Structure 1
Amino acid sequence: MGSTKRTTIRLTDERHHLLDRAKDIIAASETDDPPNSVVIDAALTHLIESYENLDDARQELDPTTIQQFNTSVVGLRYRTSVESRWR
């Protein structure tokens, strides 16, 4: 078995707000309160899938259509690349 890396995430007010909003999106019901680890896993999976979907779609759709699906994190820049705007 490999070692587990542990990271403490400091929850600023903004990060706490984002986690709460994300919990509302993935909660199975109004009374469901998924743990932060589940919310983070879902967000990371969504980021990767979104990136791959944009990258695949740019081969078939025109740039104007693709740009409608850009986000503040992942977006199409020109027709030939997908970039991350997060950092």
Structure 2
Amino acid sequence: MDFDEKDISEIIKILLDRHIAASIVVPNSHESMNAIDCLITFWDFDNSLYVKEKLRQGQTILRNYCDNMIARIRRKVPIWNCVKLNFSMS
């Protein structure tokens, strides 16, 4: 059985309305991102929710450390190219 976009939207609405799911990300939608983009966003000093939370709690995290983590990720790009995450950053 194939579902069209309307069917999928209705299923998602039911799952969210009944609190069966807290959030749903449809593959290949603008909310989904590949593993590399997810990791780079995670370590982006200026935009990372992780970094903002650490700083808010008075913990230390340096821009240089984040930049080094991004450089490590980029060196491993061939390994991660095939991985797709359904992960929302909101």
TM-score by length of 1: 0.30
User: Which protein is bigger by CA-based radius of gyration?
Assistant: 2
Write 1 or 2 for the structure with the bigger share of helix.
2
TM-score by length of 2: 0.29
Comparing both chains, which one has the higher relative contact order based on Cα–Cα distances under 8 Å and sequence gaps of 6 or more? 2
